[in-house]
Amino acid sequence: MIELSSRDGVRKFSNYFWLAMLCLLAFTAIAPLFFIFAYLLVRGWAGLSFAFFTEIPKPVGEVGGGMANAITGSLVLMGLSTVFGVPLGLACGMALSELKKSAIAKMLRISIDLLTSVPSIVIGLFAYALVVVPMRGYSAWAGGFALSIVMVPIVARSTEEILKLVPASIHEAGLALGLPRWKVLIRLILPGVRAGVTTGILLALARVSGETAPLLFTAFSNSFGYRGLSAPTASLPVQIYTYATSHDETWRQLAWTGALVLVFVVFCLNLVTRILTRRTV
């Protein structure tokens, strides 16, 4: 038997020391959240008014104005990206789970994995080359396209994950009824995992609602409000960026309030997904 009691004291101490360190590290990880949140609330709240949502920005130096242009722009861009991105993402998710181990599914999986890791500014460059250059100008189309590329891998992965959870016996039960495979998938399986698929879509929306980099030289910005899908379009994140880096105090205030609104929307979307997943799992 090995007895080294003097060492046991050291071991006990180092045990408690390191466990305390881990607690401290965990605290350090979440502390910035409160730090950021407190500032957002305090600085953003000050500028929160009805006008913020209804008025377009005033020129530099004038007091007042709002971010109505950016809010409508963001809604348009998110709508466009949903129209492109969600069907494509869903289809990719179904392809991943249905084509299983075929070569094409493997390549698709690698593409989607890598697509997740592409820096968003690079996606902006791509949308610029593919849409802005041929259209000879910034447009909501280009911005929506860029955002949809951000959405596709998120929707695809979550759809695949959720389809993977469906037991094979349900597939088989449907097939045993004489239903073709596509009907089994669309009519039997998908309705059952609706909540899970919605979660993926909402998470993707939460993500793109805050994306700035892909919009800088695709949707660009404007200060008048919505002027059609082929025109430059403002968005909340880009506007926040522009105003935050300006030297005008009114504009900076708008940036803080815009950030508060943006974070509120993103958090709500996350909260909804959390409630949805809790109900399904």
Partner 1 sequence: MTEAIQKTVQPIGVATAALETKRLSAWFGDLHVVKDISLTVEKNDVFSLIGPSGCGKSTFIRCLNRLHEETDGARVRGEVLIPGAGKRENIYAQGVDPVSIRRRVGMVFQKPNPFPGLSIFDNVAAGLKLAGVVRRNVLEEIVEISLVQAALWDEVKDKLKKPGTSLSGGQQQRLCIARALAVRPQVLLMDEPTSALDPISTARIEELVMKLRSDVTVLIVTHNMQQAARISNQTAFFLMGELVEVGPTKSIFTKPKDSRTEQYITGRFG
Partner 2 sequence: MSNPVPAHQVLARRNLGDRIFFLALRAVSIGTIALFIGMLIFIGKLAWTSVEAQGFRFWVGDDWNPPMDIFGAAPFIVGTLASSLIAVLISAPISVGTALFLREIAPRKLANVVAFLVELLAAIPSVVYGLWGVFVLAPIMRDTIQPFLAKWLGPDTYFAAALGHGMTAVAYPFLLVADTLGLTEVTLVSLSANMMAVSQGLFDGPPLGLGLLTSGLVLSIMITPTVTALSREVLLTVPDTVREAALGLGATRWEMIKLALMKTARAGLVGSIILGLGRAIGETMAVTMVIGNRNEIPKSLFEPAQTMASVIANEYNEADGMHLSSLAFVGLSLFAVSLIINFLARTLIRYLNRGSRA
Give, as ranges, the residues between 2 and 21 that touch partner 1 (CB under 8 A): 2, 4, 7-8, 11-12
The torsion region of residue 167 among left (phi > 0), alpha (psi -120 to 50) and beta comes to beta
How far apart are CB 7 and partner 1 at their closest, in Å? 4
Q: Which of residues 112-131 bind partner 2 (CB under 8 A)?
A: 112-115, 117-126, 128-130
* Backbone angles phi and psi of 67, in degrees to 5: -120, 30
CA 58 to chain CA mean position, Å: 30
What tokens were used for 2? 């090995």
Min CB(60)–partner 2 separation in Å: 18
With CB under 5 to 8 Å by kind, the binding choice for 7 among partner 1, partner 2, none is partner 1
Q: Which does 1 bind (CB under 5 to 8 A by kind): partner 1, partner 2, none?
A: partner 1
| Part of the chain binding partner 2 (CB under 8 A), chosen from 54-62, 96-104, 160-168, 189-197 | 96-104
Q: Tell me which of partner 1, partner 2, none is bound by residue 216, counting a contact when its beta carbon lies within the kind-specific cut-off of 5 to 8 angstroms.
A: partner 2
- Minimum CB separation from partner 2 for residue 184, in Å? 10
Nearer residue to partner 1 within complex by CB, 2 or 63: 2
Instruction: Identify residues 15-74 at the interface with partner 2 (CB under 8 A).
Output: 15, 18-19, 21-26, 28-30, 32-33, 35-36, 39-40, 43
SS3 27: helix
Q: How many CA atoms lie within 13 Å of 170's alpha carbon, on the beta-carbon side?
A: 16
What would you report as the CA-atom Rg of the chain, rounded to the nearest whole angstrom? 24
Please, which of residues 153-192 interact with partner 2 by CB under 8 A? Answer: 180-183, 185
Structure tokens at 39: 């500032």
Which one-letter amino acid corresponds to residue 164? Answer: K
* 127 vs 41: CA distance, rounded Å: 35
The binder of partner 2 chosen from 14, 49, 54, 230 (CB under 8 A): 14
Residue 173: CB atoms within 10 Å: 13
| 195 forms part of the interface with partner 2 (CB under 8 A) | no
What size, in residues, is the chain? 281
Select the binding partner of residue 187 from partner 1, partner 2, none (C-beta < 5 to 8 A, by kind).
none
Q: What is the DSSP string of 72-125?
A: HHHHHHHHHHHHHHHHHHHHHHHHHHHSTTSHHHHHHHHHHHHHHHS-HHHHHH
Q: Which is nearer to partner 1, 3 or 30 (CB)?
A: 3
Please give the Cα distance from 219 to 281 (Å, whole number): 38
Among 137, 161, 166, 217, binds partner 2 (CB under 8 A): 217
Given the complex with partner 2, which of 14 and 54 has the nearer CB atom? 14
**Residue burial 110-149, b: 16+ Cβ < 10 Å; e: rest:** eebeebeeeebeebbbebbeebbeeeeebbbbbbbbbbbb
Q: Would you say 33 or 63 has its CB closer to partner 2? A: 33
Q: Kindly list the residues in this chain that would bind partner 1 in the complex (CB under 8 A).
A: 1-2, 4, 7-8, 11-12
